[in-house]
Amino acid sequence: MNNESIDGYRLAPITTSRAAEIANHLENPETWRPNNWFGFEHHTAPTGNQSTFSFGEGGALAVLDTKNTIVGQVQWIPGFWYGGANRHRAWNIGMIIFQTHRRSRATSAAIELLTNYLFTHTNINRLEATMPAESQKYEKSIRRLGFSVEGVLREAQWREGSWRDAVIIS
């Protein structure tokens, strides 16, 4: 793994000790709110050494600041298969930045770092993600990073007592 840093943030493997720290954050519903809380049964914490997954299965990395404090995690899983061969598959990416580090550059730095990492170290030509339609405030930063909004998935997520639209970006 390279030591690339953007705006004081970098990615690092999720070791057993880092996994325990991340798990403590992920048990708190407020870590996931306002847009990603689906109930306790829908969130699992990393178990350690997740960065050692084969790229065919996906993986996860910790997001660290300049003090080596964990500020969140990024992850990727095989996305939609567009036919023919596995090379026509996309990575579906996601992340969670802990509350105390939101409203900083951590979110955009994490997306940019993960994007660079996956395009450098895997044989995938497409990254995609879904985000709640209410998160449109992030659209400007997403576009700055080279992503574009591809469409709206109507009532795709049941969250906090109602069906919500999601936006697919790539």
pLDDT the model gives residue 51? 46
Answer with the residue of higher pLDDT: 64 or 49.
64
Distances from the Cα of 111 to the Cα of 6, 38, 89, 115, angstroms: 10, 22, 19, 6
Could you give the CA distance from residue 97 to residue 101 in angstroms, rounded to a whole number?
7
pLDDT the model gives residue 55? 46
pLDDT the model gives residue 117? 95
User: Residue 95 in contact with residue 75, Cβ under 8 Å?
Assistant: yes
Residue for token digits 């400007």? 140
pLDDT digit string, tens, across residues 76-134: 998 877 887 777 788 999 888 888 877 788 988 999 999 999 999 988 889 998 888 88
Could you give the CA distance from residue 123 to residue 89 in angstroms, rounded to a whole number?
10
0.85 exceeded by the pTM?
Answer: no
Answer with the residue of higher pLDDT: 97 or 33.
97
3-state secondary structure of 70: strand
pLDDT the model gives residue 12? 95
pLDDT digit string, tens, across residues 37-57: 545 554 444 554 544 444 458
Answer with the residue of higher pLDDT: 136 or 9.
9
